């Protein structure tokens, strides 16, 4: 049973560019959440997708957007990259209708903005 997968593993971008990160949830899961983990910090919630809709959003600017596809996979898009966007981006999947919505995390995408 494949767990949560993310691509790419590492990415280097320049300030002002745009980036797309991808996530495939654990088999059977229908909900995808995205988190940003800056160096030395705990993960911060960006947003969550369920049934192809954004269900919850954290305190992140509109430069951060996402999408969920009918097969439950998801993308995170970040526009107009800033140096401060350098972080590990984690995707987590869960079952949307089953408390406590236990979340399983992928290995992350390390984004470096220069």
Partner 1 sequence: AQSVTQLGSHVSVSEGALVLLRCNYSSSVPPYLFWYVQYPNQGLQLLLKYTSAATLVKGINGFEAEFKKSETSFHLTKPSAHMSDAAEYFCAVSQTGANSKLTFGKGITLSVRP
Would you tell me which residues interact with partner 1 (CB under 8 A)? 4, 31, 33, 35, 40-45, 48, 55-56, 58, 90, 92, 94, 99-108
CB of 95 to partner 1, least distance (A): 10
Taking the least distance from each CB to partner 1, the nearer of 80 and 101 is 101
CB of 58 to partner 1, least distance (A): 7
| Distance between CA atoms of residues 94 and 30, nearest Å | 6
Taking the least distance from each CB to partner 1, the nearer of 22 and 104 is 104
Taking the least distance from each CB to partner 1, the nearer of 4 and 21 is 4
CB of 110 to partner 1, least distance (A): 8
CB of 51 to partner 1, least distance (A): 12
3-state class (DSSP) for residue 84:
helix
- Cα distances from 2 to residues 23, 65, 106, in angstroms, run 12, 26, 11
Tell me the HSE value of 65 on the side-chain side, using a 13 A CA sphere.
Answer: 7
């Amino acid at each position: 049973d494949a767990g949560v997968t993310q691509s790419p593993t590492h990415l280097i971008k320049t300030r002002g560019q745009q980036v797309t990160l991808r996530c495939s949830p654990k088999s059977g899961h229908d909900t995808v959440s995205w988190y940003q983990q800056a160096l030395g910090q705990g993960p911060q919630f960006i947003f969550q997708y369920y049934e192809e809709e954004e269900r919850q959003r954290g305190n992140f600017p509109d430069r951060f957007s996402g999408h969920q596809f009918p097969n439950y996979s998801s993308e995170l898009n970040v526009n107009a990259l800033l140096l401060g966007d350098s972080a590990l981006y984690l995707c987590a999947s869960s079952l949307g209708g089953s408390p406590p919505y236990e979340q399983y995390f992928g290995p992350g995408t390390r984004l470096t903005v220069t």
